[in-house]
Amino acid sequence: MANNPYLTVQAVTKYIKRKFDADRHLRNVYIKGELSNVKLHPSGHIYFTLKDEKSRIQSAMFRGNAANLKFRPESGMKVLIIGDINVYESSGQYQLYAQSMEPDGVGALFLAFEQLKEQLGKEGLFDPRWKQPLPWIPRKVGVITAKSGAAFRDICSTIGRRFPMAEIVLFPAAVQGKQAVPSIVEAIGQAGQRTDLDVLIVGRGGGSIEDLWAFNDEAVARALFSCRIPTISAVGHETDTTIADFVADRRAPTPTAAAEMAVPAQDELAGRILDRKRVIYRFLASRLQTEQKRLTRLKDSYPFAYPDRLYRPFIEKQALLEERLTRSRNDLLSRKDQELGRTVSRLQYVNPLVRVQHGLKELLASEGRLTRAVTHSTAVRQERFMTGIRMLQALNPLHVMERGFTIIYNGQDLVKSATGMKTGDIVDVRLQDGQAKAEIISVTLTEEES
């Protein structure tokens, strides 16, 4: 230290922190101011600045203390804080560590009530369009309250007196204390799952605002809003107002009033039934009289007095239509019969068997004509042949030779004239039945030839 008089920042900060730790006036500080830069950290810690007209101090409230707040801190809110002041070594700044916080000038519970009311109102949980109508004649009434509380007894006695036919189903729940909220929420959930309940009363008797505070809880409000059964809020006395009163379908000033809302008075109901009965009777009597008059008019009317005249034109029309129908039917049958004949003819023409028979006839006819033609041609040719034969026979030299004629060849030449022949020539003489050689002894020509 003697050689180096300079200190580190951390050393100075720790020194100052020890001073703060040693100062007992800073251990339990009561301080008021206005909140600024409020940050609600997801971890549950709250960081903010506490200020007044001339100064400000960084502040924090850790999750353990913040969980006990009845309201949600917001910037601009004036508050009363109890805590301690110490040094945050990382930044070297002193800050206020709040242990409790109360609104300055207004109660924490009232502020929390107003904040939750505003929040749920913006979300629409109080919107009249979500309100369900109460049943006129419920068969079963659900009740969520303390089993041993006076509220349950009042509800039972009221329902028993007004409408004993209704059955009461109790869902016991703690209605004050730390277990009140989860107990009420669980009971609403159980009742909502029942399909036989017609209406549900949720409430308790009177008490302080702290006693009634469970019915100002957000979880209870959302459970009531989600309940499918029509609900009646009956918390405390007529002057007490809770968030449940705004969310429920109906708000009753007391549990007894809730029971009166839930069920009708049997005397009043009987009176209403009698009134309805008289109205229905008068209506039916009037309607019966009207219908009787109408029936009389109908009986006296022309159609019922002369029913045969009423349907006479229809009989004539029916007869005419039947005649036209018969004629049309006959015409149609005739046309169809003709079409059938033509069709049968066409079918017969194209029938293979008929066509084969027809072809066979033509074939036989052709065969006859061919036979006759062949016979005729053969006869003609045979006649011609015989004529030729006869002509050939007439011209056959052999046939001539049968009459004593001969044919003479001089060598290869046929001797037709004596001219050219000379004595001593050897000629061939052909006879009918053979040939012979002869020598020309003399040649004498006829005068014409010489």
How many CA atoms lie within 13 Å of 238's alpha carbon, on the beta-carbon side? 2
Strand spans (E) along 133-255? 140-145, 167-172, 199-204, 231-235, 250-252
With left for phi above 0 and alpha for psi between -120 and 50, is residue 432 left, alpha or beta?
alpha
What's the pLDDT score for residue 257?
94
Q: What is the pLDDT of residues 391-415, one digit of tens each?
A: 887 777 777 777 788 888 888 888 8
Could you give the residue ranges of the DSSP H alpha helices within 23-95? 63-66
If we measure between CA atoms, which residue out of 215, 194, 185, 220 comes closest to residue 141? 194
Contact between 243 and 117 (Cβ < 8 Å): yes
Residue 450 reports pLDDT greater than 70? no
Other beta carbons less than 10 A from residue 386's beta carbon:
10
User: Which band of pLDDT confidence, cut at 50, 70 and 90, is reported for residue 275?
Assistant: very high
Distances (CA, A) of 152 to 57, 66, 68, 159, 234: 52, 36, 31, 11, 11
**Looking at residues 262-291, what average pLDDT do you find?**
92
Distances (CA, A) of 15 to 9, 29, 58, 93, 94: 10, 21, 20, 13, 13
Contact between 220 and 173 (Cβ < 8 Å): no
What's the pLDDT score for residue 304?
78
Q: Could you write out the DSSP letters of every residue in 341-358?
A: HHHHHHHHHT-HHHHHHH
Collect all residues with Cβ–Cβ distance below 8 Å to 9 and sequence separation of at least 6.
92
Q: What is the pLDDT of residues 151-194, one digit of tens each?
A: 999 999 999 999 999 999 999 999 998 899 999 999 999 999 99
Q: In whole angstroms, what is the distance from residue 143 CA to residue 259 CA?
A: 9
Q: Is the pTM of this model over 0.85?
A: no
- Dihedrals phi, psi of 433, to nearest 5 degrees: -120, 15
The token duo for 156 is 């039972």
